[in-house]
Structures are given as structure tokens and as C-alpha cells.
Amino acid sequence: MPAGANFPSLPQVQSATFTHLTDAADSWAKTAELWESAFTEVRDATLRPGGTDWEGAGAEAAQDRTDRDVVPVRAAASQLREAASIARHGAGQMEANQRAVLKAVDDARADGFRVGGDYTVTDTQNGGTLGDRVARRTVALSHSHYIRHQLSMFARADADIASNIDAATRGLDKIWFTAPDDQMASHAMPASAAHDIPLGVTVLCLPGPRGGPWAFHCDVLYPDGHTDTYYTDDDESGGYL
Amino acid sequence: MDPTSAKLVRTVLAVYSYPRDVRALRVTAEGLQEFAARCKELAGELSAAGAPSAPGPSWQATAYAVGVSFARAAAAAETLSARIQATGAKIADAGCRYAHEDSGAAAQLSTVEL
């Protein structure tokens, strides 16, 4: 009796490898580490860029932004580590299930049965009494059922591990940052053009230092309570409180 | 008040009449540019990492799930890379402004009459 269209054939199970799982596990673990270390480094560096203390509103804005950035990055790294753990354990589980299928096939062959690529079990012995043939038929069915059972376990493990990996990384590609100013303008642009002011924010501009390059120093309050600062030649005070 | 004390008071008032940012500024424009360059470097590392290995056999459900997850991780890596790059641009921008401000403030202080 064929095993079914959804099951891998015997040659497929025999030649199956699971390095895609172990390789993915290694890659994801490294990637998670890289993500966290990069954003932690940037956050820490805002305290002392170039080895000197950085204070003031600009520093506070940068420190707040990079501090907030670490949160979603840690969550994303955690997702990747979870996927890596599932993949690593999954590879071991799949190898064990593979061995169980092949052992069941070997047992049938050791009893004198032929196992086809589609797991059909046929008797290689002819002759004997009717009782002998009935007994052999019973043993063949027993082997067939056991092989199918192991094959079913193999396929179910493959599906379960796949489902768990998929669940672990779901939404990873939708990562976003809560701090404003996501759309950064090039630093080559003039400051007045580099800071778009979205609806809903409140801006308070105070005169900058006499002789400075910018006439006003503006503090921005975003609807989520986050603040930022920028410099401009125009008093852009206003808001939507 | 004797002339020396009056001169000292004028000097202190002149210095402390500057905004807090200017007085508290100890970071150097070079330090900020160096930091911005490091951000750019990290952004490159982030977008380059996480390339998928050889895919598993197509009949394995895990092979498909691994492929999908690599694609999601790659999309996330691009977002993270862009974010650090944007932070670097912001830092570089601050460095440019501080360099201007610092020279402006220094020029202003040098003209204070003592």
C-alpha cells in the first residue's frame, strides 16, 4: 500500500539532510548577536562620541533616540534566537525520526520482505502452506503499519518544526522604531530642510547664541511625548496642543 | 566695586549668558564625525549579514520555513541598517552644526570687553 502523496518517498527520507536547519540556527544566532551589539554600541557611544562627554539638548535627543532603538532590536533578536533554538533542536529531532523510519524499513527487510520506494511491503518468499502465507501476510501488514506510523511521525515533525520556525519569525520584517525622525534627511541638506515638522507636534523656538550660524534653537514635542531639537533661521514656534 | 572686580563680574555674566548647550558642550565635532562614520560602518555590516545557506530539499516543510524566515530577517536587517545610517546622518549633522556654533561662540567670547 503506498504511503500517500503527502509523504516523502523512501529515497527522499534516505537521502535527507538537515543542514539547512543547523546552518540557519548558526546564522540566526550570529545575526541576533550582531543586531544587539550594533545598537548597543551606538547607544553607548552617544554618551561619549569620540571619547569626550556629550551634553545638552542635542545629546539628550540622540541618547533618547538610540536608547529607544535598542528595545525593538532586542525583541527582534529574541525572535531570531527563538527560531535558531527551534531549528537546532529540530534538526536533531528530524535525524531521530529519519533513523526511526529507516530502522522500521530495515526490520521489514530483515524479516524477508521487500520495501518499495513508496513503502509497499511485499513478501519475497513463495510457497508454504496457506497458514504460513496468512501468517506472513499478517507480519507484512504489521511492518507496513509500523513503517507508515514512523513515516507519519517524520512528516509531522517536519511540519511542526516548520510551523514553529514560521511563528517565531512572524512580524520580524515589520520591525519599526518608536522614536521620531525615522525619515532622516541627508546631513548635507540645510537644517531648516532636514527637519520636517509633522502635524500634531508642538515646536518652541528660542533665539540661538548671538553670532551663531542659526537664528533659532527649536525644541519639538511629539504627540507620543518624545522630544527632539533642531536649529533654524526661522521662528517655527507653533503647535497643536 | 573696584575696576578689577567689575571686570570679573562682566566676564562671568558674559559667559553664563550663553545658552546651556553652548556652555555644556564638551564633545568635539571630530568626535561626532568619527561616531557618524562608525554608524555607517555598522549599517554596512548589518545589511551584509544573514545571507541564507543552501536551501534544504523542497519537499521538506522546514526548508520552506527557513527560506521564509531568512527573507524576513533580511528585511529586518535592511530596516536596522537604514536606522543606524539615519542615526549616523543625524550625528554627522550635529557635528557640522556644533563646529559652526563652536567657532561662532568662540568669536563672540573673544570680543567680550574686559
Q: Are residues A142 and A195 in the same domain?
A: no
Q: Are residues A149 and A121 in the same domain?
A: yes
Q: Are residues A53 and A82 in the same domain?
A: yes
Q: Are residues A164 and A56 in the same domain?
A: yes
Q: Is residue A179 part of a domain?
A: no
Chain A contact for B15 (CB, 8 A cutoff): no
pLDDT tens-digit readout, A109-134: 999 999 999 999 999 988 888 899 89
Q: Are residues A103 and A212 in the same domain?
A: no
Domain hosting residue A131, numbered range: 10-174
C-alpha distance from A67 to closest chain B C-alpha (Å) = 12
Among B25, B80, B109, B111, pick the best mutation site for testing chain A contact (most A Cβ within 10 A). B80
Q: Show residues of chain A in contact with B41, CB under 8 Å.
A: none
- The residue in chain A having the minimum alpha-carbon distance to the alpha carbon of residue B68 is A166
Q: Cell 529574541, residue? A: A78
Q: Show residues of chain A in contact with B34, CB under 8 Å.
A: 49-50
Q: Cell 556644533, residue? A: B98
* Other Cβ atoms within 10 Å of A226 Cβ, number: 17
Residue B65 is nearest to which of A23, A165, A183, comparing CB atoms? A165
Residue A56 is nearest to which of B21, B36, B84, comparing CB atoms? B21
**What is the pLDDT tens value at each position of chain A, 241 positions in all?**
455 557 999 999 999 999 999 999 999 999 999 999 999 999 999 998 888 888 888 888 899 999 999 999 999 999 999 999 999 999 999 999 999 999 999 999 999 999 999 999 999 988 888 899 899 999 999 999 999 999 999 999 999 999 999 999 999 999 989 766 543 333 223 333 333 333 345 566 676 665 666 676 666 655 555 566 666 676 766 643 3
Residue percentage of chain A with pLDDT more than 70: 72
Query: CB–CB of B24 and A55 under 8 A?
Result: yes
Q: Are residues A114 and A140 in the same domain?
A: yes
CA-CA distance, A217 to A215, in Å (whole number)?
Answer: 7
Q: Show residues of chain B in contact with A98, CB under 8 Å.
A: none
Q: Is the pTM of this model over 0.80?
A: no
Q: Is residue A141 part of a domain?
A: yes
* Other Cβ atoms within 10 Å of A185 Cβ, number: 17
Q: Where are the domains of chain B?
A: 3-110
Residue B66 is nearest to which of A24, A183, A191, comparing CB atoms? A24
Q: DSSP states of A37-104 as a string?
A: HHHHHHHHHTTSGGGS---SHHHHHHHHHHHHHHHHHHHHHHHHHHHHHHHHHHHHHHHHHHHHHHHH
Q: Are residues A133 and A211 in the same domain?
A: no
C-alpha distances in Å from residue A146, one per residue of A13, A67, A85, A141, A172: 16, 57, 30, 8, 40
A130: enclosing H helix or E strand: helix A130-169
Query: CB–CB of B19 and A208 under 8 A?
Result: yes
User: Does residue B15 register a pLDDT over 90?
Assistant: no
pLDDT tens-digit readout, A88-97: 999 999 999 9
Q: What angle do CA A15, A21, A27 make, to 5 degrees?
A: 140
Q: How confident is the model at residue B55 (pLDDT cuts 50, 70, 90)?
A: confident
Q: Show residues of chain A in contact with B98, CB under 8 Å.
A: 58
C-alpha distance from A227 to closest chain B C-alpha (Å) = 15
Q: Are residues A169 and A202 in the same domain?
A: no
